[in-house]
Structure 1
């Protein structure tokens, strides 16, 4: 017989950031990996808007999509990995990749969104450096 899964232990042990936000976009769950990634403690993040980690220039687009998802109960990003910029507590830019899932009440009302997030900043920087080097090599070969 399978043991019951301790979901709180799972969320706290997982290496990826797990963030849950309610219908209004306020943070209701912030796991230890989110603390490490973004620099905000759980007590600093809980109850705050997702604006905490969204770069200011992207907030309008984010909230348009968030509100549309809450109104329709559908998201384009359920199975796709979304790669976007984010910011940490110090204001440093991050490149993150994440998937989202919609959360529902027992009455099947949409109550929030969970995001599972990975920091891909170093990978993004390495790829950018490789693309730049490739362009330089192609330019010198064609000269």
Structure 2
């Protein structure tokens, strides 16, 4: 079945960041939502390593997982969300959630990976506040029970 969907418009207009990296981890596609979320323009991101948005303390773990995924062509994050910290251009940390999709050549060699990324920084902060409030309320309840 042939679709008349203009894929360039779909990628450009997506509310979530859509990024593609080649098998070596160099960024080859960076949509407008990626610009908005991470602060880097397309020109600043294209050809650069994914280290651009990975906090330094996370890089070893990221590249170990990335290499395993490139070697096997298998990812568990095709349907399961991966939640990790990321870096904005101005240096502040973001909380992101994303899924990935593998890209293959006709002979089934891995050529790259696509990530669909959502900024969950505000939601994560709100959850942290709610958890702290819950601990506070539970402590008051226990305090009342011990009287």
Question: Shorter-chain TM-score: which interval?
Answer: over 0.9
Secondary structure class of the residue paired with 1:10: helix
Q: Return the offset for 1:3.
A: 5.0
Alignment of 1:19-34 (within 5 A): 19-34=19-34
Q: In structure 1, how many angstroms separate the alpha carbons of the residues matched to 2:141 and 2:79?
A: 41
Secondary structure, in 3 states, of the residue corresponding to 2:95?
strand
* Aligned residues between the structures: 143
Q: How does 1:8-27 map to 2 (within 5 A)?
A: 8-27=8-27
The Cα shift of 1:16 comes to 0.3
- What's 2:72 paired with? 72
* Map of 1:115 onto structure 2: 115
Q: Tell me by how many angstroms 1:117 deviates.
A: 0.3
Name structure 2 gaps, 5 residues minimum: none
In 1: Cα distance, 2:18 partner to 2:2 partner: 25
Gaps of 5+ in 1: none
Poorly superposed stretches of 4+, deviation over 4 Å: none
Change (3 A) 1:65 1:2: closer
SS in 2 for 1:79: coil
Matched, 1:137 2:137: yes
